Structure 1
Amino acid sequence: MAAHSHHEPHGDDLRAAAQAALERAGEQWTAMRANVYGALSSFAKPASAYDIAEAVSRSEGRRIAANSIYRILDLFVAANLALRVESANAYVANAHPGCRHDCIFLVCDGCGTTTHLDDDSLTGGLRAAADAAGFAAERPVVEVRGRCAACVAQVADRAGSSGQSTH
């Protein structure tokens, strides 16, 4: 399957899609899980369990341990509600939890923005290579580190304004 586009729900629609996906997986949508998902989906960049624990603690008015958050995040990853950015040990809410794809992340080393791509042709090749080696790939994750377009432009602008060459 090659790259394709999705209708990506936001706000209450995203929360409802996540709840439906979790319940299809045979799990309950508890108040704590809803709070963790709400916190996770509010971050513009990948968030650590500690970031999420802090946000949930503020909203609940009591301290929530990161261990509790990790357990919920593991469940969310297994149920496709969240994706784990391995190199950052951080998580992002899956913008379309009803659709499964392997993870391809573009991670900007400048601003931290992480873009998730759905392109199973690349990970299909990885799965085929693993299969040929007798290895059962369960969850391929590809991360490409570099600079997003905005950071590339910003570096070029600074170099241009200081008279430096960008070569």
Structure 2
Amino acid sequence: MIRHDHKLHEGASLKRAARDRLVREGEQWTDMRAAVFDALAGFEKPASAYDIAEAVSNTQGRRVAANSVYRILDLFVTANLARRVESANAYVANQHPGCLHDCIFLICDTCGQAVHIDDDNLTSGVREAAKEAGFSAPRPVIEVRGTCGDCRVS
């Protein structure tokens, strides 16, 4: 497996890296975007827009609509601040927003945990197959559903 050489950010470092990336993309880091990112980064598992809207609403003491959160999440995915777990219709914060790469999620059907791994050998094969089919796949996302080691042992 080819590994990427990048720093995984956490906490304040993750928020700074996300803000810096968004600003480099020509977007503003507003209070609402910061609140949505904080909520997203606070989840240990993929979170839906509704989960995030509820977390932001609780933090701010006012109702935040899921529609507003969806628009912000779409921006975050485009800017590489978040990844969408398609099969769960949920999102995770990207711990290395400055690095553009393909994404492989291992998703546990029992507990909902999603582990993100990088494997350029696997994704380059997907890219090549897409190219041979006349399809452009600039950043493939692969999802593998199954049971994580913790749940398999339980």
Q: TM-score, normalised by structure 2?
A: 0.96
Distance 1:19 1:61 in 2: 24
Distance 1:65 1:138 in 2: 31
Distance 2:75 2:91 in 1: 12
Q: What corresponds to 1:108 in structure 2?
A: 108
Q: What corresponds to 2:39 in structure 1?
A: 39
Residues 81-100 of structure 1 correspond to what in structure 2 (within 5 A)? 81-100=81-100
Deviations 1:76-124 (A, max 9, x none): 0000000000000000000111111111000011111100111122111
Q: What corresponds to 2:146 in structure 1?
A: 146
Q: What's the offset of the Cα at 1:5?
A: 4.9
For structure 2, which runs of at least 5 residues remain unmatched after alignment?
A: none
Q: What corresponds to 1:66 in structure 2?
A: 66
Q: Identity of paired residues, percent?
A: 66
Q: What corresponds to 2:26 in structure 1?
A: 26
Amino acid corresponding to residue 59 of structure 1 in structure 2: T
Whichever of the two has the greater Rg, that structure is: 1
Q: What corresponds to 1:160 in structure 2?
A: none
Deviations 1:120-163 (A, max 9, x none): 22111111111111111133111111111111111xxxxxxxxx
For structure 1, which runs of at least 5 residues remain unmatched after alignment?
A: 155-167
Mean CA deviation greater in 87-96 or 109-118: 109-118
Contact 2:101 2:139 (8 Å CA) reproduced: no
Q: What corresponds to 1:159 in structure 2?
A: none
Distance 2:4 2:147 in 1: 23
Q: What corresponds to 1:126 in structure 2?
A: 126
4+ runs deviating over 6 angstroms: none
Distance 2:46 2:77 in 1: 14
Amino acid corresponding to residue 17 of structure 1 in structure 2: A
Q: What corresponds to 1:17 in structure 2?
A: 17
